[in-house]
Amino acid sequence: MCTTCGCGEDAGPRYTNLTAHPHDHDGDHQHEHDHQHDQDHDHGHAHEDGGSRTVVLEQRVLGRNDELAARNRRELAARRVVAINLMSSPGAGKTTLLERTIRELGGRPPISVLEGDQETAVDARRIRATGAAVVQVNTGAGCHLDAEMLRRGLDELDPPPDSVLVVENVGNLVCPALFDLGEHGRVVVMSVPEGDDKPVKYPHMFRTADLVLINKVDLLPYVSFDLLRCEEQLRSLNPTAEIVSLSATRGDGLADWYRWLTARVAATTSVAG
Ligand SMILES: Nc1nc2c(ncn2[C@@H]2O[C@H](COP(=O)(O)OP(=O)(O)OP(=O)(O)O)[C@@H](O)[C@H]2O)c(=O)[nH]1
Ligand SMILES: [Mg+2]
């Protein structure tokens, strides 16, 4: 957990809803309003006392997060919404993949997006340009999204039944791995220019993944990246995760990603009844 990075020590997350609500009758009225979030973010950083208090606070934070995640899971099931947690290091291609996915799937299923970044609504604007509903959450100093943020995003987005909510987590291969959001699928994107050693260096993230996407394979001729070794290391860390190599810009592997997403939606909704 992020006991050394200062995560969460600012005033708390801010939400910007870029979605056109059904009650906005003038057609193109989009509202872009910020909400200061007043959650009690009990996020401990007590380094000075030898670490024991830090551990207790971390356990309390994660325990509370797990309770909220379980509540989110029930709420998502009641709404018949499938949530996918999309995680990667900064710049691996999450938003590029989402833009293309939303456009190519053309509303089948409908996709709404909760965008997480420390600052700006840059990614939310990119998603809005695709026509999808989107809420941006800015975490300030925070380096991950948590279950409370998903709950709040769900309220803001109010996605329709039988739709998908994709959560683009804050770019970070460390802390997002520890926070269950109540999602039905954890997708980790890594990309070729980052190097093939990322799974062994950041094993927690890759161990919790249901699907690993190796993006930017169009760059393989230009960088040193051993795809086979990377896949082997991924399999030894996490034998059950599926692995798909793709290029979000050139289009390689996208059909396999769409197949995984569609299957995950079908499996989740059939369990929910
Ligand atoms: N060559 C190549 N570039 C890509 C590919 N996918 C994304 N990019 C580029 O990588 C850069 C980062 O892409 P984003 O989609 O913004 O990455 P991100 O993971 O959303 O980044 P953060 O939200 O900042 O963490 C952009 O310049 C994209 O055009 C790909 O498949 N191939
Ligand atoms: Mg992004």
pLDDT tens column, 157-211: 999 999 999 999 999 999 999 999 999 999 999 999 999 999 999 999 999 999 9
Report if residue 20 sits inside a domain: no
Our measurement of the distance from residue 133's CA atom to the centroid of its chain's CA atoms, rounded to an integer in Å, reads 16
Tokens 């309220």 found at: 155
| Dist. CA 96 → ligand 1 center (Å) | 6
Report if residue 208 sits inside a domain: yes
Report if residue 43 sits inside a domain: no
For ligand 1, residues with CB inside 6 Å are 88, 90-96, 123, 171, 215-216, 218-219, 247-249
DSSP one-letter string for 201-222: HSHHHHHT-SEEEEE-GGGTTT
Q: What is the CATH number of the domain that holds 202?
A: 3.40.50.300
Report if residue 32 sits inside a domain: no
Instruction: Provide the CB-side half-sphere exposure for 259 (13 A, CA).
Output: 7
Report if residue 36 sits inside a domain: no
> β-pairing, 211-215 with 185-191?
parallel
How many Å apart are CA 186 and CA 84, to the nearest integer? 6
Count the Cβ atoms, other than its own, within 10 Å of residue 92: 26
Report if residue 15 sits inside a domain: no
Structural domain for 243, as ranges: 50-272
Report if residue 5 sits inside a domain: no
Q: What is the pTM of this model?
A: 0.87
In the chain, at which residue ranges do the beta strands (DSSP E only) sit?
Answer: 14-17, 33-36, 81-88, 111-117, 134-138, 163-168, 185-191, 211-215, 242-245
pLDDT one-digit tens code per residue, 74-122: 999 999 999 999 999 999 999 999 999 999 999 999 999 999 999 999 9
Ligand 1 pocket test, candidate residues 86, 87, 96, most atoms within 8 A of CB: 96
Q: How many domains does the chain have?
A: 1
